[in-house]
Amino acid sequence: MTATATLPDGRPIPHMTGAERPMLESWLAFHRATLEAKCAGLDDAQVRRAAAGPSSLTLLGLVQHLAEVERNWFQRVFGLDVPTVHGSEDGYALVPERGMEEALAVWRGEIADGQEHCAGLALDDLGRIPDGPMAGTEVSLRWVLIHMVEEYARHNGHADILRESIDGTTGA
């Protein structure tokens, strides 16, 4: 299977066989595309709508959070001294002047920056968690890629619930 194979909705099909790094990266690309699909075609009010109290989780907040996650795991862990993207550790806070198009553009930029920064690294290369309860812990690029697939898969489950509560759309 080639990297360009896609599902009918345009999301890339993850590699089913082959080398480890391309497989991990293809699964991450699939989950990134799934998040983007969950956000497609909604207006500003819809992407700011929480599914159920007491949670304040929104699709816009998820995209902002995952921009923070991308920066943290692919840039900060591997040696770049960069600040948070949205001025908070988790990125969930919404501000009136930031809509989905801007949030998606920032998120895509963080993905590109992280890919560029880690392009020359091997799966066994080590980075260090910069802060939080595990500050200073070494992690390999392999661990980060696996963690990121898990992070997106978990949040895509949240996105499923949010999208269904907004307009009844399920699947993807």
Q: Where are the domains of the chain?
A: 20-167
Mean pLDDT taken over the chain = 94
| Whole-Å CA distances, 17 to 6, 96, 109 | 16, 45, 29
CATH topology of domain 20-167: Four Helix Bundle (Hemerythrin (Met), subunit A) (1.20.120)
Calpha distance 125→137 (Å, rounded): 14
For 9-46, write each residue's pLDDT tens digit.
Answer: 999 999 999 999 999 999 999 999 999 999 999 999 99
The confidence score (pLDDT) of residue 51 equals 85
CB atoms within 10 A of CB 136: 9
pLDDT digits (tens, 9 = 90+) for 66-78: 999 999 999 999 9
